[in-house]
Structure 1
């Protein structure tokens, strides 16, 4: 067997994969843990495993201003479009940045608006492909930015590609299910659909003194959306078996009760063991089992990225889950690739869970499951099948019963061993091209790409710690306490 090659295919499922080679050039700034370069690393593994041969690969269009206003406000998008890192910070600029929650967690960086267009464009194109029934599964690892609000940045997210993709799916699907396995609560998506029964949001996340401080089990939606928000608040150290026990039980009941016709799965990789901002103990196999499980329902499935700050593990995870989508088994021996030095601890695909304590007791999980099942029993067997005007269901601000406490996503940031960060070398070149377009246009919204990837500048092996502010500015919408 050739090391690193795809080794066993089980079916011919139709998968469409979206990637823009420029995405790895965007740079949040020195020391910032969010690194779009991780998406390029994942893509490079996908190439070198040979997975691209088994799926349609597209470079999506960049989302237009008008497309993003399907959810985001004009004023907010105008701010994102015009903001520059070199702007003089006068009183008006400071007020605008404070208003839109741009600063510590969500800095203004070169190409910020274009980065948002790229992320949203991929998710919109992926949703449209499902609507056209031209694929069974679509993948956009550039997306999954679940914290962004209608008029506010949050948690490294500026625009919410997930909400835009779901709105696109709702043009053709009566009910859409959103599932979030990021370590942080999927607050931005939940907020957008908090008062509608046409979208059910389900989030499995760390809860407590942790960003964003939302996602209590009693946050269940309101109005017509009551009981259509499902929150599974988890504690530190949850392992593969424990996670699967609650994930499968909850999702089986959700699928039975809600009966969606399309699924969006946010695959945030910060729930993996060893993540710089995470606190869970999942292996790639444990994380990937969630993808396998949702895939078995044979519904149109959109896979998105999200959080993930130990970037070598993010790349491993999304390459592995691309293989799962394709029904392909891949070798544990990593193929040689442009970023091989990042994996120098063992050059293996799979990662080993730690011996951290699992604070999720069987009693706690059983009580949580019982509470969620009781909420789901309030649902009609087949909710509101009539089409509803989308714009009437998505309100600017929706406030839940919970009190609010403010957290910064950077509070728990730690450095891991053998992690590379490009800020210690050369800042990525914003004009660098990582693939060439072919002349053939496959559709109005996408272009087939001929794939090749440049090497990232090498970085030292001893990164310095990131020291962020303890608290970020309070968002206008929040629910709290009792991820991306």
Structure 2
């Protein structure tokens, strides 16, 4: 174990300004709420806070197709009706609407995950956090599930320059299909996704039988769960599987996607995890002691998302947070209790012991097919050729956050409205 983890935290207040639309469940505003909660608990004093660079189109095209990136850059709400074919081709529309500043939003959240990976690669920190990232559904040529650019794939590609093996873990209620698909044919990334599985539940993939192909066979792990899973069942399964994965695969770095839609009471989720149960997974992964990149993901009851990611920031900083939320600009969202912990819902757990036992056995059986960590031949590290050079000493990397954050507006009139907190 390291004596004291050095933590880099990436945030740009502009991510919270974008608006998917009045009836859309994705509220980037939750990121401002999270950040202000982090500030109110004084957690910013224990880590380095950076504003990420806006990822360049050529960086996004390291994974995404150039024509898709170019279209995202060009389209806006006033012109989208002129391009019906491209809108259909790139799957833009209902779930993934075109909104003002959409491309800049993608550049910021992707830039944060890329910067986080670079800081880890250069051993400038032990843990890097980008709560704005974790948009795991986006595909090479299309948007999917509220995700336009897959920052996780871009971050992992960056980590692969320095690490032979990357472990990706996903605890969002939805299957991490975009990340799995990107690395389905390689043994250099192992993807492990814990999620609700069913034909009618988005995205419909993530069966335990989906294990990767060719070089990647057995390097995709799926843990399909049913409604109502609770802390005890989830964390026991998580610890058993992740321990075995780390022992078998021996990764050099871990990427952890902490989608908060797996919490009890989420607008789109159907699990029964408490914040402490969710955070226990983060605590367990941190204790492994490998370089760690942590992102957000889903989460549609936004005051609970903010609570969850604040608690998890505390976990990563080894800081226990008092349950009473300190006064901050968003305090009314947490009223009337103004407490950090949330009650779990009274919903039935459809995950029987025998069902979970069967899943666990299948996963461990597949892991036994990997006799030992694959001996991946590392190539020479490719340069970060697409980034304008600057001297680290001369210009603080990623630009320290200062008054800019404090000056950001606190709340949009069209974001906070009666009934928004209804579950």
* TM-score, length of structure 1 as denominator length: 0.82
- The reply to whether residue 267 of structure 1 matches residue 240 of structure 2 is no
- The reply to whether residue 102 of structure 1 matches residue 108 of structure 2 is no
CA-CA distance at 1:462 after TM superposition: 2.3
- The reply to whether residue 447 of structure 1 matches residue 402 of structure 2 is no
* Structure 2: runs of 5 or more not aligned: 383-392
For 2:278, which of 273, 287, 291 is the aligned residue?
287
1:6 corresponds to: none
CA-CA distance at 1:461 after TM superposition: 2.0
Where relative contact order (Cα < 8 A, 6+ residues apart) is larger, the structure is 1
CA-CA distance at 1:464 after TM superposition: 11
- The reply to whether residue 115 of structure 1 matches residue 105 of structure 2 is yes
For 2:150, which of 160, 164, 167 is the aligned residue?
160
Q: Secondary structure at the match of 1:138?
A: strand
Tell me if the contact between 1:441 and 1:448 (Cα under 8 Å) persists in the aligned partners: no
2:226 corresponds to: 235
Name the CA shift for 1:183/1:464 in 2 (closer, same or farther; >3 Å). closer
1:301 corresponds to: 292
Whole-Å separation in 2 of the counterparts to 1:387 and 1:360: 41
CA-CA distance at 1:455 after TM superposition: 1.7
CA-CA distance at 1:11 after TM superposition: 5.9
For 2:24, which of 32, 36, 44 is the aligned residue?
32
CA-CA distance at 1:88 after TM superposition: 5.6
Tell me if the contact between 1:106 and 1:156 (Cα under 8 Å) persists in the aligned partners: yes
Tell me if the contact between 2:170 and 2:193 (Cα under 8 Å) persists in the aligned partners: yes
Q: How does 1:401-412 map to 2 (within 5 A)?
A: none
2:202 corresponds to: 211
Tell me if the contact between 1:26 and 1:36 (Cα under 8 Å) persists in the aligned partners: yes
- The reply to whether residue 181 of structure 1 matches residue 138 of structure 2 is no
- The reply to whether residue 43 of structure 1 matches residue 26 of structure 2 is no
Whole-Å separation in 2 of the counterparts to 1:288 and 1:154: 27
1:22 corresponds to: 14
- The reply to whether residue 382 of structure 1 matches residue 373 of structure 2 is yes
Name the CA shift for 1:94/1:323 in 2 (closer, same or farther; >3 Å). same
Tell me if the contact between 1:198 and 1:384 (Cα under 8 Å) persists in the aligned partners: no
Whole-Å separation in 1 of the counterparts to 2:234 and 2:158: 31
Name the CA shift for 1:146/1:389 in 2 (closer, same or farther; >3 Å). farther
- The reply to whether residue 70 of structure 1 matches residue 22 of structure 2 is no
Tell me if the contact between 2:136 and 2:179 (Cα under 8 Å) persists in the aligned partners: yes
Whole-Å separation in 1 of the counterparts to 2:4 and 2:44: 14
**Would you tell me which structure has more helix in proportion to its own residues?**
2
- The reply to whether residue 224 of structure 1 matches residue 181 of structure 2 is no
Tell me if the contact between 2:13 and 2:32 (Cα under 8 Å) persists in the aligned partners: yes
Whole-Å separation in 2 of the counterparts to 1:302 and 1:236: 28
CA-CA distance at 1:291 after TM superposition: 0.4
Name the CA shift for 1:465/1:311 in 2 (closer, same or farther; >3 Å). closer
CA-CA distance at 1:360 after TM superposition: 0.4
Whole-Å separation in 1 of the counterparts to 2:205 and 2:381: 25
CA-CA distance at 1:269 after TM superposition: 0.3
1:405 corresponds to: none
Whole-Å separation in 2 of the counterparts to 1:313 and 1:161: 23
Whole-Å separation in 2 of the counterparts to 1:462 and 1:363: 40
Whole-Å separation in 2 of the counterparts to 1:313 and 1:218: 33
2:386 corresponds to: none
For 2:79, which of 84, 87, 110 is the aligned residue?
87
CA-CA distance at 1:230 after TM superposition: 0.1
Tell me if the contact between 2:192 and 2:220 (Cα under 8 Å) persists in the aligned partners: yes
Name the CA shift for 1:464/1:45 in 2 (closer, same or farther; >3 Å). closer
Name the CA shift for 1:449/1:27 in 2 (closer, same or farther; >3 Å). same
* Structure 1: runs of 5 or more not aligned: 1-9, 392-438, 467-484
Moved more, 319-328 or 381-390: 381-390
Tell me if the contact between 1:273 and 1:280 (Cα under 8 Å) persists in the aligned partners: yes
Whole-Å separation in 2 of the counterparts to 1:191 and 1:178: 12
* TM-score, length of structure 2 as denominator length: 0.93
For 1:145, which of 127, 135, 147 is the aligned residue?
135
CA-CA distance at 1:388 after TM superposition: 5.9
Q: How many residues align?
A: 406
Q: Secondary structure at the match of 2:167?
A: strand
Tell me if the contact between 1:440 and 1:447 (Cα under 8 Å) persists in the aligned partners: no
1:125 corresponds to: 115
1:425 corresponds to: none
Tell me if the contact between 1:146 and 1:186 (Cα under 8 Å) persists in the aligned partners: yes
Tell me if the contact between 1:167 and 1:390 (Cα under 8 Å) persists in the aligned partners: no
Q: Secondary structure at the match of 1:102?
A: coil
Q: Secondary structure at the match of 1:447?
A: coil
2:235 corresponds to: 244
| Alignment RMSD (CA, Å) | 1.9
Tell me if the contact between 2:172 and 2:260 (Cα under 8 Å) persists in the aligned partners: yes
